[in-house]
Amino acid sequence: MDHSARKQKLRACLPAVAPSMLKCDYGNLQHQIEQLADDGAHVLHWDVMDGHFVPNLSYGAPILKSLRNRTDLFYDAHLMISDPARYLDDFLSAGCDAITFHIEAVPEPLDLLRRIKAAGVLAGLSFNPKTPVSAIAPFLRETDLVLLMSVQPGFGGQSYIEGSAEKMKELREAAGPDVVLSIDGGIGPDTISGPAAAGADLYVAGSSVFGQPDFGVAIREMESLAREHGPAYQN
Ligand code: DX5
Ligand code: ZN
């Protein structure tokens, strides 16, 4: 699949909940992915942590790669690592559809964004709660996806930071309509409406999916709130 086919594949499912695999049952990974697909998920959000950029470790490219031929779901990789350029080829060959890294790790991100796009993959930039929209604004034209952190990255299960919807609004105004905007951290039925009204497209959700007995009910509830409060989609 090339860059534009991937873009279309993602656009076609918006607004969407992207279950954060950080909160899944790792002993049952393949089954959980099948369950998510049966329950209507379109996107898997993979949180990669190196114990350096964030104070936690999770998993790396080999795990993503070994599951790649078992699912067609869109692979949305979120690299919370200090040196994403060093591992880029591993994540490309693992079959990621979008690769997002942090502006705090790579203050001059243009080369890396271009390398990702040249490989036919969507290029994403993320920024922490304390980093202003103005820090990523100069790079928006080269970015397919922006991931706004609504918690400090590193752990699932934290509380949504109030004010993230206002930041999302500012981001949407700066990014224009074509960049996919994602929000990550503390997203659930109680918090999704604010960012939806502010123009978000993609909602990363860990605890509010995996903490529920029925993933499908949780995903559908959040997606219908996102549709109700968010922009109208043509798909
Ligand atoms: C945090 C991760 C998130 C996190 C979301 O560093 O990027 O994707 O797992 O989990 P919840 O939805 O529980 O905040
Ligand atoms: Zn994430």
Could you tell me the sign of the dihedral formed by the alpha carbons of 79, 81, 82, 84, in that order? negative
Q: What is the pLDDT of residues 39-92, one digit of tens each?
A: 999 999 999 999 999 999 999 999 999 999 999 999 999 999 999 999 999 999
- The yes-or-no verdict on residue 114 having pLDDT over 90 is yes
Contact assessment for residue 161 and residue 150, using Cβ atoms and an 8 Å cutoff:
yes
Is 128 buried (19+), middle (13-18) or exposed (0-12) by CB count in 10 A? middle
Say which CATH number the domain at 157 has.
3.20.20.70
- The yes-or-no verdict on residue 235 having pLDDT over 80 is no
Domain hosting residue 175, numbered range: 3-234
Q: What is the pLDDT of residue 234?
A: 64
Give the residue carrying structure tokens 């393949």: 30
Query: Which residues lie with the beta carbon below 6 Å from any ligand 1 atom?
Result: 20, 22-23, 45, 47, 78, 151, 153-158, 184-187, 204-208
Of 19-23, 122-126, 168-172, 231-235, the least confident: 231-235
Residues 62 and 70: their CA atoms lie apart, in Å, by: 14
Q: What is the pLDDT of residues 118-163, one digit of tens each?
A: 999 999 999 999 999 999 999 999 999 999 999 999 999 999 999 9
User: Ligand 1 pocket test: which of 184, 187, 202 has the largest number of ligand atoms within 8 Å of its C-beta?
Assistant: 184
Number of structural domains (the chain) is 1
